[in-house]
Amino acid sequence: MICTLSLASALLLFAQSEDIPPTDNDTPPAVEKEAKIDPAEALDKIKAAIKSESDIVILDAIVYAAEVEDKKIIGEFYKLLKHKSADVRLAALEAMRFNNHAEALKRLISFGSNKLLENDPEYLAEYIYALGQKADKKAAKLIENDLVMTRAHDEDVLKARVYSIGRIREVASIETLLQLSQSGGGRNGRGGGRRTVKMRVEIQTSLAVLTGVELGNDVLDWTSWWSDNKRSFKMSKSESKIDDRKLQAKWDSLWMTEEQKAQAIKDFKEERAQKRKDGKEDAGDDAKKGDDKKDDDDGLIDF
């Protein structure tokens, strides 16, 4: 896991479990509750921003109201998905992606046939991630649409589809990914052998999250395992964690808000600094890493 319990929190929990009264220095400062945004006020702000026809004002209004769970506000975000400015469209899409109101998924699904998505691969990829964020099987059909392993398809769009399928916790998702992995690539070595496929790491990641099994990125290993286990397989309600730290970090980063990413980076760095301070990391490992240190630090947290 990237996010870890802070040292101060851990010490406080330990003190509470041991019934040790905290001293004045141990008492955490009172946390100010963030004031909730009034939906009516947020709605008025968005409408006024749209009326102003200023992209900067509209973007500011989207950020202001992004987390407000209100049907009418989602409706305004939906209108902005068709805005002439690409920046406004993407900002409105992100707001709908991370807004937890049920109307957001409903509106996203209804937007699936819009021509703007066909003509803008970047917009389409972000749209698919927005559907994947909802982790709802009602979005599966749109996510899997036009899912073909071919050079004619935009790679970022295909990647978004593969990762987003991993969010739909249905047996059908496993079979879709396996079919995709079998549809592309070639064979290594003379006379056949192991198959290699485009998107193999992405497919491996989504399959691992769905199944709780890690078999690497070889198609034959996965198809053989599924043939032996599909009848008895039961999909768990929660996502499985991946043993490969970098794959897990990448997966987590795909579905985090910007605030969550920033917190994850902070927690990761603090945990690593504390380990070094306490001498928990073996000096030999540090020497061995050498030039790879930056890659190890940044590779796990560079979102």
Distance of CA 295 to the CA centre of its chain: 21
SS3 79: helix
Residue pLDDT tens, the chain, 303 long: 334 333 333 333 333 333 444 444 445 555 455 678 999 999 999 999 999 999 999 999 999 999 999 999 999 999 999 999 999 999 999 999 999 999 999 999 999 999 999 999 999 999 999 999 999 999 999 999 988 877 657 899 999 999 999 999 999 999 999 999 887 644 443 333 344 456 889 999 999 999 999 998 888 999 999 999 999 999 999 999 999 888 999 999 999 988 888 888 888 888 888 888 887 656 555 555 555 544 444 445 555
CA proximity to 183, closest of 166, 160, 162 = 162
Q: Are 51 and 73 in contact (CB under 8 A)?
A: no
- DSSP track, 220-266: HHHHHHHHHHTTT----SSPPPPSSHHHHHHHHHHT--HHHHHHHHH
Which helix or strand (DSSP H or E) is residue 138 part of?
Answer: none
Looking up tokens 């030999």 gives 284
pLDDT at 5: 35
Output Rg (C-alpha) for the chain, integer angstroms: 23
SS3 187: strand
CA proximity to 2, closest of 294, 246, 276 = 246
Question: In angstroms, rounded to a whole number, what is the distance separating the alpha carbons of residues 135 and 217?
Answer: 24
φ/ψ bin of 154: left (φ > 0), alpha (ψ from -120 to 50), beta (otherwise): beta
pLDDT at 95: 98
Q: Are 63 and 88 in contact (CB under 8 A)?
A: no
Question: In angstroms, rounded to a whole number, what is the distance separating the alpha carbons of residues 300 and 285?
Answer: 17
pLDDT at 28: 52
Domain spans, the chain: 39-111, 113-186+195-243, 254-280
Residues 6+ apart with CB under 8 A from 80: 50, 58, 62, 88, 89, 91, 92
Angle at 192 between CA 188 and CA 196, to 5 degrees: 35
pLDDT at 147: 87
pLDDT at 213: 94
